[in-house]
Amino acid sequence: MGLKNIERTVLKNPSNFRKLAMGNWDGIGDPQVYGVLEIDCEKPIEYIEEIRQKYDVKLTINHLVGKAVAMMLQKFPKLNGVIANGKIYLRKNVDIFFQVGIEGAETELVGICIKNADQKGILEFARQVNKKSEAVRASAEHPMRKAQMPFRHIPWRIVPWVVKFMNWLQFDWNLNLSWLGIPRDPLGSIMITSVGTLGMEMIFVPLTHIGRTPAQIAVGKINKKAVVVDDKIVIRPKINLCCTFDHRFMDGILAAKMAHYLTDLLENIDKHKELFEANTLENKEEE
């Protein structure tokens, strides 16, 4: 039988992301809490079609969720913060990070950050997401992708120490390391990833220590489901928003307030159009 527990070989030529992930998570024991919101998408779908016909912009449910989350953080500023030096610090800006998959790269997953997202109307918000997503996909020299390159050459055992050291400098010491090629606060206030584009209805995403964002939201695939409305069974489009949050940062009461407000924004979007479209004309596109 031998002394080996399992037959195994070392993974050769791992991706930058895979090595970075190994350095990012220590193991079991992080204070993560999971929750899911099932959102009725009938009105959001109608609103998306209305905007697409009225304006020349590619608008998706992911854009609406991102904008709604930015509005939620504006309403509940205590959710917009970071843990550093054993304390909770509140951010002054609401920045929304979207994870972006790279075509043909199995494990290369980077993303883009929309700065001051709460101050942008839905049109400008969607345009910036689309433009920045295309930019990061188009070039391996993009700062968000280039920052991962050094990890290809760093030994496995050293990666966790490098990640922790850089994280310590960026957040505990609050140092801007852009001069080292590391984007400044690249992951923003909260991270959003679309698992619906992968055909998945529900996936919970782990928190990342790198950006110290206290919450992540995975947007699932829109599916038709039988639901009871006014004591009648009807077919409605539904989507799951799977949230993972740091229990040190946010308790259940605050999470419930967040969930109720987010649900109201999306399911009754016709009543909140002014909020979604506020600052649409005033905002200018970021460079």
pLDDT at 285 over 50: no
Of 43-47, 107-111, 181-185, the least confident: 107-111
Alpha-carbon distance of 137 to 134, in angstroms, equals 5
Alpha helices in the chain (DSSP H): 16-24, 42-54, 61-75, 122-138, 143-146, 159-167, 252-267, 273-277
Q: What is the pTM of this model?
A: 0.86
Please compute the mean of the pLDDT values over residues 224-229 and round it to a whole number: 90
Quick one: 84 exposed, middle or buried, by C-beta within 10 A (0-12, 13-18, 19+)? middle
- CATH number for region 35-147+178-270: 3.30.559.10
Return the top range by mean pLDDT from 18-32, 70-84, 145-159, 268-282.
70-84
pLDDT at 26 over 50: yes
Q: What is the pLDDT of residue 185?
A: 87
pLDDT at 84 over 90: no
What percent of the chain has pLDDT above 90? Answer: 46
Alpha-carbon distance of 273 to 261, in angstroms, equals 15
Please compute the mean of the pLDDT values over residues 212-218 and round it to a whole number: 92
Q: What is the pLDDT of residue 178?
A: 86
279: left (phi over 0), alpha (psi -120 to 50) or beta: left
Going from N- to C-terminal start, the domains of the chain cover 35-147+178-270
| Residue predicted with more confidence, 248 or 275 | 275
Alpha-carbon distance of 225 to 22, in angstroms, equals 38
Q: How confident is the model at residue 282 (pLDDT cuts 50, 70, 90)?
A: very low
Q: How confident is the model at residue 149 (pLDDT cuts 50, 70, 90)?
A: confident
pLDDT at 129 over 80: yes
Give the tens place of pLDDT for each residue, 162-188: 888 988 898 888 888 888 888 888 889
Render 10-39 in DSSP notation, one character per residue: PPPS--HHHHHHHHH---S---EEEEEEEE
Whether the CB-CB separation of 246 and 32 falls below 8 Å is answered with: yes
Please compute the mean of the pLDDT values over residues 190-205 and round it to a whole number: 93
Q: What is the pLDDT of residue 10?
A: 62
Residues contacting residue 107 through CB under 8 Å, at least 6 positions apart: 15, 17, 18
Q: What is the pLDDT of residue 102?
A: 62
Whether the CB-CB separation of 73 and 251 falls below 8 Å is answered with: no
**What six digits make up the tokens of 211?**
């950006």
What is the distance between the terminal CA atoms of the chain, rounded to a whole angstrom? Answer: 63
Which regions of 171-222 does DSSP assign to beta strands (E)? 190-194, 215-219
Please compute the mean of the pLDDT values over residues 232-242 and round it to a whole number: 95
Amino acid (1-letter code) at residue 263: T
| Residue predicted with more confidence, 262 or 148 | 262
pLDDT at 281 over 60: no
Alpha-carbon distance of 59 to 56, in angstroms, equals 9
pLDDT at 106 over 70: no
Q: How far is CA 32 from CA 28, 101, 106, 128, 204, in A?
A: 10, 24, 26, 30, 11
Q: How many residues does the chain have?
A: 287
Averaged confidence pLDDT in the chain: 85
